[in-house]
Amino acid sequence: MSGRPDAMLEWVAKGTVVFEAEVCRVTDPALAEPSYLVGWSRAHVAAHLGRNADALLNLLNWARTGVETPMYTSPDQRANEIEEGARRPAAELRADLLEANGRLAAQLATLPDECWEALVRTARGREVPVREVPWMRVREVWVHAVDLDTGISFDDVPRELCAALVDDVAAGFRARTDFPPVELRDEGGGRTWLLGVPGAAETVVVTGDLPDLAAYATGRPVPGPLYAPGGGSVPKLPVWL
């Protein structure tokens, strides 16, 4: 695969609109209220999205110039910038988010076609072609829009994106043996995914609608019912991201 990942870029643009709208819609006091992420307010989530935009912009600059430019200089830098951003006045926080999103959008739109296969490293040290950067941002804007806890749920996420998120989780959990393997079954579309290593323990089948499976797999609030054999509870999964 080569060239511009147009479908991913469209998902980035749509998810950015959704996230920005929620941050701009809530009142200033509501930004300081808790998000779905333990220990983070909505302001923390918004600050994180702004700094993540700049971190991904570093990878695009790396691809353009060939000069190694890490996403963050250190985990402490990332954490400190999020904390500082979350303490900003609401108007400054919103303005910073919109400006950071604009910078990233401009660079994504103008990255030369030949740069999309350039290799860069994620914050976790994984070497990837820069064409994965849009998907990295897709996950951030859509999943964290849910994390804001302003009324957006996985029912509002495009179904094909829900499937791509479950694909991502399944790939990340493929070699994990620290939980019983779970087979996800989409009751509407007929797709299945295996999370974990088959044979490591008895596989638990979890059935539900695709948005509910995506929420469950990513560790987010599940908007609808999930079904396990015998009416039992669904297993707790490891942290995804």
In the chain the domains, ranked by start, together with CATH numbers, are: 6-152 (1.20.120.450), 159-231 (3.30.1050.20)
Model confidence at 12, pLDDT cuts 50, 70, 90, reads: very high
pLDDT tens sequence across 86-128? 999 999 999 999 999 999 999 999 999 999 999 999 999 999 9
- Stronger pLDDT, 109 or 229, i.e. the higher one: 109
Q: Structure pTM?
A: 0.95
Residues 218 and 146: beta-carbon distance below 8 Å: no
Q: How many CB atoms lie within 10 A of CB 82?
A: 21
Q: Which residues have C-beta within 8 Å of that of residue 31, sequence separation ≥ 6? A: 23, 41, 42, 43, 46, 90, 93
Closest CA to 115 of 60, 156, 160: 60
Task: Return the pLDDT at 201.
Answer: 87
Task: Return the pLDDT at 232.
Answer: 83
Model confidence at 2, pLDDT cuts 50, 70, 90, reads: low
- Stronger pLDDT, 230 or 69, i.e. the higher one: 69
Question: Helices (DSSP H) in the chain: which residue ranges?
Answer: 6-25, 28-31, 42-65, 75-86, 90-110, 133-147, 159-172, 210-218
Q: Is the pLDDT of residue 1 over 80?
A: no
Query: What is the rounded CA–CA span in Å between residue 55 and residue 187?
Result: 38
Q: Work out the average pLDDT over 76-82.
A: 96
Query: What is the rounded CA–CA span in Å between residue 136 and residue 68?
Result: 19
Task: Return the pLDDT at 169.
Answer: 98
Closest CA to 178 of 241, 239, 126: 239
Residues 121 and 70: beta-carbon distance below 8 Å: yes
Model confidence at 188, pLDDT cuts 50, 70, 90, reads: confident
Residues 90 and 31: beta-carbon distance below 8 Å: yes
